[in-house]
Structure 1
């Protein structure tokens, strides 16, 4: 429950009146209990991004209403964030980059707000008690920015020469287009409404639940993601696309889209997504989401493929079977089971890379051991241990991917194929729609294997340098 202010009604004069005023300013008066709340933390102290995310609350749902003008690049947004307080809150923070905030409200009442860099602080009129659910609404506008990461790659709101957009957010770019708790440990459901000019397509995560024409001729589509999603996996694609639809796994709708210039040459592979998902479900367990698909863009706007939840996005030059198998595997490893911190990223990328090796083994006749030996021979894979990238600039470096996959192959060789298959299926089942750390994984693998695996972890997961023999 929210704490309501209590008022003193006794009449005082002189010194007594002055003391009473001072007591009220200090947060109490005769018979009052005082303010209990404190501001939520401005950052979750992630090993690489200490200011990312915020403390004091847990987001349950984002309702984003976005209107975009491709001619000017302007975005007008309203974010309605439903959350539960994990402490008594006098104020809380949201991550937001660049955009100007018009107003903030908490449970319908106007709330004070101020900006300091990428931190938006919202101070409700009344404190929010621990355990209470509250609704924060923020209106904002501006031309969203793109972010250059420490490794030189670009993310955020990526706009092309024609005004089209691909919005991607790993690790922090989603804060360029909506305010939120932008750390992967705070996952939530989403409803994203996109309003764009007639003749322009707009896509996001999940299932499209509505399409309507507004009185001014613009078109609004609404996208629903009921399963928890980390904010870095939220996406928006705006432009001109050709689409395809199918059904996977009996009931899962598959929607693919490709820009017209690349639609014909990508159509056949896009049509294989249901079959690829069925193959992966046999190895990894039940598909964790209620929708699937892919979006393919021309090269130039986006420099890499990304596993955005239910609808991974690819530049055309990266849209091949190997990369598709990698990004679809992320739906289990990274999207459903998400990292506890960014230090645990190898659990995303090592598993998705090993999924490539499994695909080549099962359907290309190339044993995973061959892929392991190739990776072992590459000097770049030994720059640092996969579970301990030295800086944020190394998060997406080869050891996280290739040596991460080598860890899994050595696990397979150590415990045997049967036990390894149980780990492959059991890990995403145990942590379905949750977060997990490296320590969680090593403990789980040892539990299923029924033995101590410290020797394996010490050499392959945490060890410095390349072992003498693979």
Structure 2
């Protein structure tokens, strides 16, 4: 039987002596119940064992965190898995499950600023998230393994986590699966070892990562490991697909597309590159999982390489991954810029110019729907993606190319590894361009009528 998973987080006992419980919610109305307060995670160390035959997952998760208030107890997000022992800094802690919340009460309160470790042992049959606007997510059992993926959340279906992008952390991940199966995740690949008919795959992501950008793909894959620009390049396509098919051909241009985007956005922000194609039709989307995007099968139905989706997901490595949102109301900072990267790549390849795409989209846009704070039900709508890209190009036309690309490179450099808001971006754009831009952004992001073309 596989080892139980262990999660490490610091905690406290009763609500006395100035200690108080951490919030059970990050306070983001777009994802009610997700995330927690009272602490900030520095690192997740995950040891997961998965048996596809029984669809059973177990492992060890060690979470290292810092208390941001005097803590008497705190929550972690964990859905559908049974918890064994929980310890805080090696001492037994009381715990209980309250829906999708794991509530941990340590023996002693944690002072503000104290670093602590919480170890959680857990196991069970992981579950998927109900269908959302983006499609099925969470932990999906497949014919030959599993896929753990999804936005705006999915991580809590396979490990205990503070499941909100406002709390980014580094990751050390090891996954043990039956021999013959690949276990793909984020970051730099480590040593792979086998024993007793099972293989352990290791991955390390040293750049801070939002939890929804973590991923796990297990199954029979053709894994290609190489390098690009002195960094590891890992791509994977299911063995059932042709090695010369459109999926592999698309992934093969990952390095080239990333280099083009780096010429516009600044240096590539992570220590590895790659991509993974999945064939499960429940994954009706592509997702910018950090350093190694995952692409659903629908993007290759035409039988030809799809470089637009690769450009989009790679652009997120700058916009959305290294610079993440504080709250989902600002998701246009992710999707508007990634959509604009598609326009730039198409022009670079000799296709339609960004200006021509702007003109066509401008004429077809429903200006009654806002880009900024679109509402929970429309966070993946055209107003976020396409109107967001229109705002980006309009900014370029307003400030000029030199200032525009300086704004983008400054944004990804100064905010690297952190979080930001629309107000932060507006302030930076004004600083770099020397122009007052608040009225401009109000018109292009939230105005109810078509703004004048710059």
Structures share a fold, TM > 0.5?
Answer: yes
DSSP-derived class of the 1:81 partner:
strand
Match of 1:46? 28
1:108 and 2:105 are equivalent in the alignment: no
Report the counterpart of residue 422 of structure 1 in structure 2.
406
Alignment of 1:71-470 (within 5 A): 71-151=53-133, 153-160=135-142, 162-214=143-195, 216-248=196-228, 250-264=229-243, 265=245, 266-319=247-300, 320-379=306-365, 381-390=366-375, 392-467=376-451
**Whole-Å separation in 2 of the counterparts to 1:257 and 1:4:** 44
Q: RMSD across aligned C-alpha pairs, in angstroms?
A: 1.9
Q: TM-score, normalised by structure 1?
A: 0.90
| Equivalent-residue separation in structure 1 for 2:242 and 2:419 (angstroms) | 36
How has the CA–CA distance of structure 1 residues 318 and 53 changed in structure 2, closer, same or farther, with 3 Å as cutoff?
same
Residues 324 and 3 (structure 1 numbering): CA distance in 2 closer, same or farther, change over 3 Å?
Answer: closer
The gaps in structure 1 that reach 5 residues or longer are 6-25, 28-33
Deviation at 1:383, TM superposition (A): 4.7
Give secondary structure in 2 for the equivalent of 1:40.
coil
Contact 2:134 2:284 survives alignment (8 Å): no
Determine helix, strand or coil for the equivalent of 1:42: coil
Query: How far apart, CA to CA, are the structure 1 residues paired with 2:319 and 2:84?
Result: 38
Do the aligned residues in 1 keep the contact of 2:12 with 2:72 (CA within 8 Å)?
no
CA deviations on 1:434-469 (whole Å, 9 max, x unpaired) are 000011111111111101112311211121243476
Kept in 2, the 8 Å contact 1:336–1:434? The answer is: yes
The answer to whether the 8 Å contact 2:22/2:38 transfers is yes
Q: Distance in 1 between matches of 2:181 and 2:87?
A: 32
**How has the CA–CA distance of structure 1 residues 462 and 4 changed in structure 2, closer, same or farther, with 3 Å as cutoff?**
closer
Please name the residue that 1:37 is paired with.
Answer: 19
Shift of 1:246: 2.8
CA deviation digits over 1:288-313, x for unaligned, max 9? 10011000122514111100001100
Whole-angstrom CA distance in 2 between matches of 1:127 and 1:95:
20
Structure 2: unaligned runs, 5 residues or longer:
1-9, 301-305
CA contact (8 A) 1:208 1:222 kept: yes
Deviation, 1:67, is 0.6
Secondary structure of 1:137's counterpart equals strand
Q: Is the 8 A contact 2:284 2:298 kept in 1?
A: no
Contact kept? 2:344, 2:354, Cα under 8 Å = yes
CA displacement 1:63-100 (0-9 Å, x = unmatched): 11111011111111221100001111110110111111
SS of residue paired to 1:242: strand
Measure the CA separation in 2 of the matches of 1:201 and 1:4. 40
Residues in 2 aligned to 1:322 and 1:3: alpha-carbon distance in whole angstroms: 46
Structure 1 residues 4 and 441: CA distance shift in structure 2, 3 A: closer
Change (3 A) 1:82 1:247: same
Number of residue-to-residue matches in the alignment: 438
- CA drift of 1:413 comes to 0.6
- 1:112-133 CA-to-partner distances (Å, cap 9, x unmatched) read 0011111111000111111111
CA distance in 1, matches of 2:192, 2:311: 31
Q: Distance in 1 between matches of 2:369 and 2:223?
A: 42
Deviations for 1:370-412, whole angstroms, at most 9, x for unmatched residues? 1112222224x5351110212x221111110000000101100
Shift of residue 247, structure 1, vs aligned partner: 2.0
Deviation (angstroms), 1:179: 0.8
CA distance, structure 1, for counterparts of residue 249 and residue 132 of structure 2:
36
